[in-house]
Amino acid sequence: MDDILNALALFTNFVLLPAAVYGSQLALGALGVTLVYGILRFSNFAHGDTMAFGTMIAILFTWWLQAQGVSLGFLPTALLAIPVAVLVTVGFALLSDRWVYRYHRVKKAPAVVFLICSVGVMFLLNGIVRFVIGPGEQHFVDGERFIFTVAQFREFTGLERGIAFRTSQALTLVSALVIVVALFWFLERSRTGKSMRAYSDNENLALLSGINPERVVLITWVLAAALATVAGVLYGLDKGFRPFTYFQLLLPIFAAAIVGGLGSPLGAIAGGFIVAFSEVLVTYAYRQVLDYLGPEAWEPVGLMQLLSTDYKFAVSFVILVLVLLIRPTGLFGGKSV
């Protein structure tokens, strides 16, 4: 029985818990992508670097707060910086819409024009972030790092293997749950949310109903930028911050949005967890788990790993290609890509 519990502890510590946290981060990022696609009708390739920009603002403000001696004890000081980062990122998103996207929206330009514009915004954001904070890795976590450590878990349970639960992981899971519930309430119950859904379903009919399109566009950018910032900060707290990593995150985020169905918020959440668990399950080395579950005299050969962790983004790419080939509208029947 102890062998099974040790195997379960290993699997939880290195697969279930990290995948759930990573899935929450991808789900928040994919929600921003699917809102822009569902309402503004284009794929926003700048979303990953918007996450990096928002995280950079949070890091800079966190460092300033830490220099002033401000601390939240066992919670990261970055939590105080998130509102400031959201405001700055929302401001940049609204300026981008005003100076870049609005002209083409008035001209009724095709979606590919908006996509190309978003690539330009992506490179602009990438350059700003690298120039301001540099291309290297940055850490901005302070306070208590663990709710409980592997050693504490082992001492409490008496098992050989343990589970570590970090503060950043708990924050990600709780924040994702609260944000998703609040977002769905807003979209389903509020008058503005209903206007956004009506505009997404039928733009012409929504305009005839008296819905202000500019207000819908503004709220969409506000929500997308806020989601990108929170997702980026939570990812940075959990795994560290490097600008290029956020550029790479664009692939799994889009994979998550497309798997669930572009334009479907529920699909974005489901897609985030599908992609996250797929990446972690395929790249985990199962040798130690199989050591506990196999016969006593049996020893696995090698790491028992399907793919190296260097290829984890390849998993997202394969999932993306398969969904586009088999079911372009995604699992929840979003808009076809």
CB atoms within 10 A of CB 51: 34
- Distance (Å, rounded) from C-alpha 315 to C-alpha 303? 19
Q: Under DSSP, is residue 320 helix (H, G, I), strand (E, B) or coil?
A: helix
Q: Which two tokens stand for residue 234?
A: 């939570």
State both tokens at 276: 């996250």
Find tokens 């500019």 and name the residue.
214
Contact 44, 51 (CB under 8 A): no
pLDDT of residue 334: 57
Q: How many helices (H) and strands (E) does the chain have?
A: 16, 2
Query: 94 and 218 in contact (C-beta within 8 Å)?
Result: yes
CA 118 distance to own-chain centroid: 18
49's CB contacts (< 8 A; 6+ apart) are 121, 122, 125, 126, 129, 243, 246, 247, 250
Is 0.75 surpassed by the pTM of this model? Answer: yes
- Each of the 337 residues of the chain gets a pLDDT tens digit; together they read 777 888 888 889 999 999 999 999 999 999 999 999 989 888 899 999 999 999 999 999 999 998 898 888 888 899 999 999 999 999 999 999 999 999 998 888 998 999 999 999 999 999 999 999 998 888 887 766 888 888 888 888 888 888 999 999 999 999 999 999 999 999 988 999 889 888 888 777 777 778 888 899 999 999 999 999 999 999 999 888 998 889 989 999 999 999 988 888 889 999 999 999 999 999 888 888 777 777 765 666 666 778 787 788 888 889 888 888 888 888 876 554 4
What per-residue confidence (pLDDT) applies to 53? 97
pLDDT, residue 139, reads: 80
Count the Cβ atoms, other than its own, within 10 Å of residue 73: 9
What's the pLDDT score for residue 300? 64
Ordered DSSP codes for 195-222: HHHHHHH-HHHHHHTT--HHHHHHHHHH
Residue 214's φ and ψ, nearest 5 degrees, are -65, -35
The answer for residues whose C-beta is within 8 angstroms of residue 218's C-beta and 6 or more apart is 94, 97
Please check whether residue 329 is in contact with residue 261, taking contact to mean a CB–CB distance below 8 angstroms. yes
Q: Do residues 164 and 146 lie in contact, with contact meaning Cβ atoms separated by under 8 Å?
A: yes
315 vs 331: CA distance, rounded Å:
18
Query: Which pLDDT value is given to residue 249?
Result: 92
